[in-house]
Amino acid sequence: MTPTVAGAEAIREAVRILRAGGLVAFPTETVYGLGARAFNPEAIARIFAVKRRPLDNPLIVHVATDDQLHSVTTDIPPVARKLMAAFWPGPLTLVLRRAPEIPTAVSAGLDTVAVRMPDHPLALRLIHEFGEPVAAPSANRSGRPSPTRVEHVVRELGDAVALVLDGGPCRIGLESTVLDLTADPPRVLRQGAITPQMLRAVVGLVLPFTRTADAESVHSPGLKHRHYAPDLRVVLVSPEDWPQAIASWSRSGQRLGLIARTAAVPAPGRPSFERRFDTTSDFARSLFAAFHDAEAAGVQVLLVEALPREEGLGAAIMDRLERAATAHMEGR
Ligand code: TXA
Ligand code: MG
């Protein structure tokens, strides 16, 4: 698979592949997606096979038009309309009632379907020219960090995908917020750039994300699986603990890496792999790319600064970081 700078010819080729039941990787504003024709069960099966994704973890269907939205769901409640008007195209996925035409494999057997309209010119153009909804999980192997750079898609999926459209680095860098609108009140199933406060400003009561067994196993099956785990050990460090963390991990003999906010880290004894970010948005945009780069640099222990959850993308970032740190402890 070679990345293709997405001109008109590349889009035409991508459309040909989707029509034939093949897979195409494409950029969105959140992360790169691995797309297939949503209405083709064999193409959907190919996604699960390539990602080695557990069959009980449903996919998000991407649409570019209102007609396409109507082909995916039987019911668009007024609250959904309000949210679409406020946040689409954008990083908000809505869980709605599934139309019978959507293959059950897309929704992992649930009677609901997750749908979003991505805010990326290439993604929208691809779906427009294809003329049908595109089912697309993140373009990584199951359990790994999502790719936010084209070279990381290639590293994750190799020759398993015929074409990857190159849109450069993704603007947001974390997966979309998932909101269940079949629950009353609506409930956040995955945290992302659209925060509960932003949702409440539009629709009133919204239940924030919780990690109850309920949410993980029933409402969002994807959350019970191992996630965001690079092939290295992720250790969270509170800002005030940096000097001590660097000193003690330096004695471990392992190759260290560091991801921090610019101000926090003292100069002496710094690890050779380092990424520093000024804001939580910069942090979010480059976190998964830093995971991939740290792996490639042979980092064994990656020290990552714990961020305040109240700040912008802080809560969404901390959710990914805690899972990445736990995945290692579970023996990945
Ligand atoms: O930003 C994104 O959402 C990216 C880009 C490519 O659009 N896609 C993405 O897809 O992150 P994926 O497959 O990696 O994550 C889909 C999430 C999983 O947590 C899954 O459990 C949840 O959405 N999901 C999908 N359908 C669902 C449904 N019917 N009910 C509840 N959760 C659902
Ligand atoms: Mg994913």
pLDDT of residue 266: 65
Which of the four pLDDT bands, split at 50, 70 and 90, describes residue 327? confident
Helix (H) / strand (E) element for 150: namely helix 150-157
For a pLDDT cut of 70, what percent of the chain falls above it?
A: 89
- pLDDT of 221 higher than 60: no
Residue 240 or residue 65, greater confidence: 65
Q: In 3D, which of 39, 9, 5 has the Cα closest to residue 129?
A: 9
pLDDT of residue 211: 80
Cβ 215 under 6 angstroms from ligand 1: no
Across residues 311-319, what is the average pLDDT?
A: 92
pLDDT of residue 223: 52
pLDDT of residue 268: 63
Q: Which residues make Cβ contacts (< 8 Å) with residue 127, sequence separation at least 6?
A: 62, 63, 64, 68, 133, 134
pLDDT of residue 1: 57
Residues 120-161: tens digit of each pLDDT: 999 999 999 999 999 999 999 999 999 999 999 999 998 899
| Average pLDDT of every residue of the chain | 91
Between the CA of 177 and the centroid of ligand 1 the distance, in Å, is: 9
Query: Distance between CA 2 and CA 12 in Å, rounded?
Result: 16
CA angle 186, 72, 228 (to 5 degrees): 60
- Of 31-45, 52-66, 247-261, the poorest mean pLDDT is in 247-261
pLDDT of residue 158: 87
Residues 278-295: tens digit of each pLDDT: 999 999 999 999 999 999
Pick the residue whose CA is nearest to atom 10 on ligand 1. Answer: 137
Pick the residue whose CA is nearest to atom 24 on ligand 1. Answer: 58
pLDDT of residue 215: 36
Residues 6-26: tens digit of each pLDDT: 788 999 999 999 999 999 999
Cβ 260 under 6 angstroms from ligand 1: no
Across residues 249-264, what is the average pLDDT?
A: 88
Cβ 112 under 6 angstroms from ligand 1: yes
Ligand of minimum distance to the alpha carbon of 127 = 1
Cβ 178 under 6 angstroms from ligand 1: yes
- Looking at the DSSP bridge assignments, the partners of residue 34 are 25
pLDDT of residue 229: 78
- pLDDT of 213 higher than 50: no
Strands 60-62 and 134-135: antiparallel
Mutating to test ligand 1, I would choose from 44, 57, 60 the residue with most ligand atoms within 8 A of its C-beta, which is 60
- pLDDT of 267 higher than 70: no
State the number of CA atoms in the 13 A half-sphere of 130 facing the CB. Answer: 34
pTM of the model: 0.94
pLDDT of residue 312: 83
Which of the four pLDDT bands, split at 50, 70 and 90, describes residue 33? very high
pLDDT of residue 219: 47
Burial-class residue 200 by CB neighbours within 10 Å (0-12, 13-18, 19+): middle
Residues 45-74: tens digit of each pLDDT: 999 999 999 999 999 999 999 999 999 999
Cβ 113 under 6 angstroms from ligand 1: yes
